[in-house]
Amino acid sequence: MSKIIARAADTSQDEALLALGSSLKASGTSLKALSAAADYSGPGALEVPVFEREIVDLIRRESVALDRTEHVPATGHPHRYFEQIAIAQAAANDPRNLSATATSPTRVERAAFIKASVAQSNMSLFDRDVTEQQGQFESLQAKDIEDVLSAIIVLRANMFWNGTDTSLLMPTTLQWVGALEQITQQATIPAGSSIIDGLKTMVATMMANKTFKPKPTAIYLNPLLIDKIEQEAKASHIELKTMNVTVGVSVKSIATQAGDLPLIPDPYMPTDTVGNYGFSNPPSGFSNYYAAIVTEPMIEIAYIGKGTNGKPRIFQLGLTGNLAGQFVGVQFDALIVKGYSYAHAVVAVVR
């Protein structure tokens, strides 16, 4: 038989205390444990915990690569476009005996299937009532909705470089085809070689293309690789210039045959100890640090969703069976790296 765990001043309350004691016992706690929630209890003082209303939150919710990439409405599913890879051919001729052979430009149809990114958050009716009664429901709900949208942005930021699909036209997974998978022009800077010289040589190689006219605009790297470049520059007494990439954001740059290119740090740019994206495995104890030299106007994100401007949308669905409210974020789009074989390059730095 259950016992009264506390005696009320009014014996009429004993029955309620008995019920409370039984409930607490079943949950593995006690009135003593509840009283421990007070910071201090003494004559003339009862201090209870009070929390700041602001939640400490430094979680990354943005991507410089996504922000600098143009979002365009998709032509459909799949998104289609044409790429010209050759022009008509000319030939030297006798000026007094002209004889030409007819040729035509070469245009290739390209296509990419649209992918979906989703995130969801459920809020039970009880938790909603509690936070609303505490006067903090609106702020918490707004933050949770923002987190749903941020989750989609973070997923897309990861897929921008690391998407697991391998074909735009014949999808093999539900993710994007990452830029490192799409770009086919590659080079490796082996251990012991200058990173700065290797990047400059790759840019020069791109600019020396007689068929295409790429114009690299930026180099995206993991912050750890930029740190290694700055250490090399310091040791070699090379001065790296500074330039603005967005309002209030300045980064280092290097002088190349395409002009000064900013070294844009992107934490979503991978490093690994195995051979990925067509590169060889680094030696034991070393890693591959990737750098993407890109012509940014040739990279776009094709989206579906009229009036969204390529931004994720949030939907509030009906109540579930347990009366929980559902908030679902969704975005339909795909990353497309145009001119993947000549307008961009990926460099693996072995360190």
- CA distance linking residue 193 with residue 292, whole number of Å: 18
Is pLDDT larger for residue 186 or for residue 320? 186
Which pLDDT does position 222 carry in this prediction?
96
Largest Cα separation within the chain, whole Å, is 124
User: Among the residues of the chain, which ranges form H helices?
Assistant: 14-27, 31-35, 64-68, 125-133, 137-162, 179-182, 195-207, 223-235
Q: How many helices (H) and strands (E) does the chain have?
A: 8, 17
Cβ-count burial of 341 within 10 angstroms (0-12 exposed, 13-18 middle, 19+ buried)? middle
Does the pLDDT of residue 6 top 70, yes or no?
no
- Predicted pLDDT of residue 137: 66
Q: What pTM, to 2 d.p., does this model score?
A: 0.82
Q: What is d(CA 157, CA 146) in angstroms, rounded to the nearest whole number? A: 16
pLDDT at 205 over 50: yes
Read off the pLDDT of each residue in 316-343 and give the average, rounded to a whole number.
87
Instruction: Output the pLDDT for position 7.
Output: 46
Q: Residue 28 pLDDT more than 70?
A: no
Give the model confidence (pLDDT) of 256-296 as tens digits.
Answer: 999 999 999 999 999 999 989 999 999 999 999 999 999 99
| Two tokens, residue 137 | 């429901």
Stated length of the chain: 351
Task: Write the pLDDT tens digit of every residue in 52-104.
Answer: 777 787 888 888 999 999 999 999 999 999 999 999 999 999 899 998 899 99
In this structure, the number of other CB atoms found within 10 A of the CB of residue 316 comes to 9
**CB-based contacts of 138-143 (< 8 A; 24+ apart in sequence):** 139/53, 143/55
Task: Give SS3 for 99.
Answer: coil
For residue 117, list its beta bridge partners. 331
Q: Supply the pLDDT for residue 156.
A: 97
